[in-house]
Structure 1
């Protein structure tokens, strides 16, 4: 039987919200990472990377809202404090995009996508454990998106 936000225990809601806020934090940091790279990428692959980084930050910006709204549906607090998100994130900001090559940017964004895939997968497993199929479904969808972006980035490195 599918659990709704109303059916979940307070402890389950809190646990899932914590995991989702981690996803929001890492998605927010990755959004800005992609936008930074979009603005600053140069070189022979400028056009496709400029476009790919834009696709990533636009997707991730919308995803932040979806994830945060799920937190609110679960009666949690969606943490929107940027400094706290940066601190909590397992995805790091790029220290100096001014000196980054396109390949450095691709590698950093690939690592961010892989981290997001793991984090969102963990949140989905936690939701499944509690019978929260709606959150699980959201996490599965996001996981597929991050894996696809990782594939696109990896393809640039294989060439």
Structure 2
């Protein structure tokens, strides 16, 4: 897994919030990995929104649109959390691809059920990573704010995953 150079992590003026700089740096790196995952998932969802075919085109086009809009809000929130801790938010495709724990499938335009299964797998990957990050941010780094923030994100991903899973169980 790629790591960020420490000189790209922090702004000059640092928040004085009783979290050691080394702990904030670790949490910011955690958030940037999450930001990469969220961005890749958002782009994959947007791609499926554009490229869905078949008799369920209209409802699935709308459904994928709603999901990528929710993910766009999450992307923004994760970036802002990294900034609130005095860090930088990664923002290039190269950084996202270096940091993400998700995979892409360039040139593949699967059927709608495979699209749904792919998105569900990605949400579940993010949920598993969030569970680890929630505990680590609180117990290892003493950052209750980030732990709470990630707890809210896990609920959002669990709901999106439930919606996707419901299509597969029909």
- Asked if these proteins are the same fold (TM beyond 0.5), I'd say yes
Report the 3-state secondary structure (helix = DSSP H, G, I; strand = E; otherwise coil) of the residue aligned with 1:12: helix
TM-score, with length taken from structure 2 = 0.85
* Within-5 A mapping of 1:63-102: 63-98=74-109, 100-102=110-112
* CA deviation after TM superposition for structure 1 residue 128, in Å: 1.3
TM-score, with length taken from structure 1 = 0.90
**Residue 64 of structure 2 is aligned to residue 53 of structure 1:** yes
Mapped partners of 2:62, 2:138: distance in 1: 35
Deviations 1:110-151 (A, max 9, x none): 111111112222222222113322111110111111111111
Alignment equivalent of 2:130, drawn from 113, 120, 123: 120
Mapped partners of 2:108, 2:65: distance in 1: 16
The count of corresponding residues between Structure 1 and Structure 2 is 155
Report the 3-state secondary structure (helix = DSSP H, G, I; strand = E; otherwise coil) of the residue aligned with 1:26: helix
* CA deviation after TM superposition for structure 1 residue 73, in Å: 1.3
Confirm or deny: 8 A CA contact 2:36 2:99 kept in the other structure.
yes
Bigger share in helix:
1
Superposed CA RMSD in Å reads 1.6
Report the 3-state secondary structure (helix = DSSP H, G, I; strand = E; otherwise coil) of the residue aligned with 1:44: coil
Mapped partners of 1:134, 1:51: distance in 2: 34
